[in-house]
């Protein structure tokens, strides 16, 4: 039984939100357990990198781009749809009618979603510099929270700003990250 790659289409599996990565791993292990590896080409949980600030520290987190959805590229034949649907926390396939077959995604939708995944992978590296010298900003994080000042220097590589802030009537330069200030 040989299956050409052209037989494999993208389907969207609806799953319990917040559990996507666990469910993806479980689907993969179930497919292997039943010996259907040859029918499945790829399983994706589209995510984006998000930078959060907690207690003044930058934390890189991955956030699910489409919460509750897992993309599966497979040839859904035989028992495969039932195996995937029987996985805990899987609600079913997107677009299927009661008792009907799962409906594959259209090529345009696939390209848009995969394009978004690639775009998200690229954009994390190239964030434009949102600040210019002379601009007034407000400090929103750190010991000088609430102070305002003018940008003296912008260091793109380190993603830092030198901001001149008046503290006790004297101008003091502060080195702050982009995440510690906001435009006024």
Model confidence pLDDT, tens digit, residues 10-49? 999 999 998 999 999 999 999 999 999 999 999 999 887 7
- What's the pTM value of the predicted model, to 2 decimals? 0.58
Strand residue runs (E) in 100-168: 136-139, 148-155, 160-167
And the tokens for 67? Answer: 């919460």
What DSSP designation does 87 have? S
Both 42 and 99 in one domain: the answer is yes
Beta strands 160-167; 170-177: pairing state: antiparallel
Domain end among 123, 146, 171:
123
∠ CA 7-9-14, nearest 5°, is 145
Same domain, 109 and 158: no
128 found inside a domain: no
Give 81-103 pLDDT, tens digit per residue: 999 999 999 999 987 777 678 88
Same domain for 117 and 143: no
């Amino acid at each position: 039984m040989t299956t050409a790659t052209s037989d494999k289409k993208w389907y969207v599996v609806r799953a319990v939100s917040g559990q996507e990565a666990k469910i993806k791993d479980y689907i993969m292990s179930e497919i292997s357990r039943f010996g259907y590896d040859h029918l499945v080409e790829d399983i994706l949980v589209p995510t984006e990198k998000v930078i959060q600030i907690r207690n003044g520290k930058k934390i890189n987190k991955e956030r699910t781009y489409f919460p509750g959805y897992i993309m599966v590229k497979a040839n859904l034949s035989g028992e495969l749809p039932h195996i995937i649907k029987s996985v805990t926390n899987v609600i079913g396939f997107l677009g299927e009618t009661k008792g009907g077959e799962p409906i594959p995604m259209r090529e345009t939708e696939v390209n848009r979603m995969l394009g978004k995944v690639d775009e998200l992978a690229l954009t994390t590296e190239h964030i434009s510099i949102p600040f210019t010298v002379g601009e007034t900003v407000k400090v929103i994080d750190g010991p000088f929270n609430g102070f305002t000042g003018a940008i003296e220097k912008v260091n793109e590589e380190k993603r830092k700003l030198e901001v001149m802030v008046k503290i006790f009537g004297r101008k003091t330069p502060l080195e702050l990250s982009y995440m510690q200030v906001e435009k006024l």
